[in-house]
Amino acid sequence: MASFSKRASLLLISALIFTVACSGRASVSDGAYTPAALSVVVTFDALFELAVVIGGDRVSVTNLMPANADAHHFEPSARDLALLNSAEVFIICGLGFDLWAESAVKSAGNDSIIVCDVSRGIEPVFVSNRTYEESGLRAHDSDDAGYDPHIWLSPTCAAAMAENIRDTFIEADPDGADHFRRGFDELARQLDGLFEEYSEKYNVLENKTLVTGHAVFAYLCRDFGLSQNSIEGVFADGEPSARELAELIDFCREGNITTILAESLSSPLVAETLAAEAGAAVRVIYTMESAEDGLSYLARMEHNLSAIYDALQ
Per-residue pLDDT reduced to its tens digit, 258-291: 999 988 766 567 888 888 998 999 999 999 999 9
Domain CATH number, residue 274: 3.40.50.1980
Domain that holds residue 251: 204-312
- Domain assignment of residue 84, yes or no: yes
pLDDT score for 214: 79
**Residue 239 to residue 289: CA distance in whole angstroms:** 20
Mean of pLDDT values over 38-66: 96
Residues 47 and 176 in one domain: yes
Residues 127 and 210 in one domain: no
Q: Is residue 94 over pLDDT 90?
A: yes
Mean of pLDDT values over 101-128: 93
Residues 142 and 287 in one domain: no
- Domain assignment of residue 13, yes or no: no
Residues 255 and 132 in one domain: no
pLDDT score for 235: 58
Residues 142 and 217 in one domain: no
The pLDDT > 70 percentage for the chain reads 79
Q: In what order do the strands lie in the sheet with 38-42?
A: 59-63, 38-42, 89-92, 114-117
- Domain assignment of residue 151, yes or no: yes
**Residue 302 to residue 137: CA distance in whole angstroms:** 31
Q: How many domains does one find in the chain?
A: 2
- Domain assignment of residue 26, yes or no: no
- Domain assignment of residue 95, yes or no: yes
pTM to 2 decimal places: 0.83
pLDDT score for 307: 96
| Average pLDDT value for the chain | 83
